[in-house]
């Protein structure tokens, strides 16, 4: 199952830059792990914002939640999730996540 996810990141104003940098590093590592198992399919930055849009694949909403909460930055993320259903006129009906991410992590 595929999900369109919008995330906005808001660190507390008083968080030191070294803590932010460490979180960004751990976030990149975890994102890479989730990508390697087909859960994080695509990720785009929203220009000018600490925000992103992504395509995520998971067996169901519970598995998606487990993946999102596994992100080191999750405590500072507001996420809006849109489950995606198939459209009969989709020009690429087998893309992007068929056969990927049948489990949550």
Which residues bind to ligand LWBT4IAB, rule: CB under 6 A? 7, 9, 27, 31, 43, 52, 71, 73
Among residues 7 and 57, whose Cβ is nearest to ligand LWBT4IAB?
Answer: 7
Among residues 37 and 43, whose Cβ is nearest to ligand LWBT4IAB?
Answer: 43
- Give yes or no for a contact between 64 and 81, defined as CB atoms under 8 angstroms apart: yes
CB of 27 to ligand LWBT4IAB, least distance (A): 5
- Give yes or no for a contact between 54 and 44, defined as CB atoms under 8 angstroms apart: yes
Among residues 1 and 70, whose Cβ is nearest to ligand LWBT4IAB?
Answer: 70
- Whole-angstrom CA distances from 85 to 41, 52, 78 are 16, 21, 23
| CB-based contacts of 60, cutoff 8 Å, min separation 6 | 1
- Whole-angstrom CA distances from 9 to 4, 33, 73 are 17, 20, 8
Among residues 6 and 93, whose Cβ is nearest to ligand LWBT4IAB?
Answer: 6
| Residue with the CB atom nearest ligand LWBT4IAB in the bound state | 31
């Amino acid at each position: 199952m595929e999900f369109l996810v919008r995330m906005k990141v808001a660190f507390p104003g008083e968080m030191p830059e070294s803590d932010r940098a460490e979180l960004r590093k751990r976030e990149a590592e975890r994102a890479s792990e989730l990508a390697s198992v087909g859960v994080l399919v695509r990720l785009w930055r929203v220009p000018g914002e600490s925000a992103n849009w992504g395509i995520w694949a998971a067996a169901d909403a519970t598995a998606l939640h487990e993946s999102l909460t596994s992100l080191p930055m999750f405590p500072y993320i507001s996420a809006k999730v849109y489950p995606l259903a198939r459209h009969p006129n989709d020009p690429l009906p087998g893309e992007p996540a068929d056969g990927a991410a049948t489990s949550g992590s």
